[in-house]
Amino acid sequence: MQNTGQITLNGRYGSKWDITVSGNTSTRPEDYTIEFDIRGLQGQWDPLTLQVFVLTKESGGDYGRGFSIQITNNGQWVHVSSNLADLNIGWWQGTSWNLTNPLWSIEIGGPPWPGQPVQPGQSWTQEWQFDNLKITVVPEPWSGVSLALAGLIVAALRRFQRK
């Protein structure tokens, strides 16, 4: 980031990826987890606080929630895992998720809003890497019960046929 203006500006940076999610049949945030690996490489801030947002695309904008993580510039990969019910930072356009919507976005950025002051003529670089994004939905409870009941019925039918 570089401030070429005449006044101090708040600086933030980040990445936002639009993704398509399938199999997301639950509307309950507690049924989902997000996992990824991240590492800080170099930059102005060490440690660095980043915010991670999980968003769904709704009419007129993105809606969702996020959480903060802190990484250091030591080059070591850190595994991050969070349940969506635990995300406690609201997205600026709103928090009304539709988790069954297949159109999602993941945004990682920092420093947290409103950013860090960058003086006129000042510049800085912050480098981090992100890998292995995984979003998991817990199977519906009834699906496990259905499988167990089906197994019991099959076992009972086999016993009945033997007699």
* DSSP letter string, 13-39: EEEEEEEE--S-----GGGEEEEEEEE
Residue 78 maps to a domain: yes
Q: Is residue 144 part of a domain?
A: yes
E strand intervals along 103-163: 103-110, 116-118, 126-137
Please give the pLDDT value at position 117: 86
Q: Which residue has the higher pLDDT, 115 or 37?
A: 37
Question: Rounded to 10 degrees, what is the CA torsion of 91, 93, 97, 100?
Answer: -120
Domain that holds residue 111: 9-162
149 or 45, greater pLDDT: 45
Residue 121 resides in a domain: yes
Q: How far apart are CA 125 and CA 99, in angstroms?
A: 35
Residue 30 falls inside a structural domain:
yes
Is 52 exposed, middle or buried, given 0-12, 13-18 or 19+ CB atoms closer than 10 A?
Answer: buried
Q: What is the pLDDT of residue 51?
A: 95
**Number of domains within the chain:** 1
The neighbouring-strand residues paired with 126 are 43
Tokens 């595994």 map to which residue?
Answer: 79
What is the rounded CA–CA span in Å between residue 124 and residue 90? Answer: 28
Report field, pTM of the whole predicted structure over 0.85? no
Contact in structure between 128 and 51 (CB atoms under 8 Å): no
Tell whether 120 is covered by a domain. Answer: yes
The stretch 54-61 carries a mean pLDDT of 90
Instruction: Judge whether 83 lies within some domain.
Output: yes
What whole-number distance in Å separates Cα of residue 158 and Cα of residue 153?
9
At 15, list the tokens: 């990445």
pLDDT at 145 over 70: no
Considering the domain boundaries, does residue 3 fall inside one?
no
CATH of the domain at 16: 2.60.120
Task: State which amino acid sits at residue 62.
Answer: D
- Tell me the pLDDT of the chain averaged across its residues: 88
82 occurs within a structural domain: yes
Region 53-64 average pLDDT: 91
Measure the CA–CA gap between 128 and 155, rounded to whole angstroms: 55
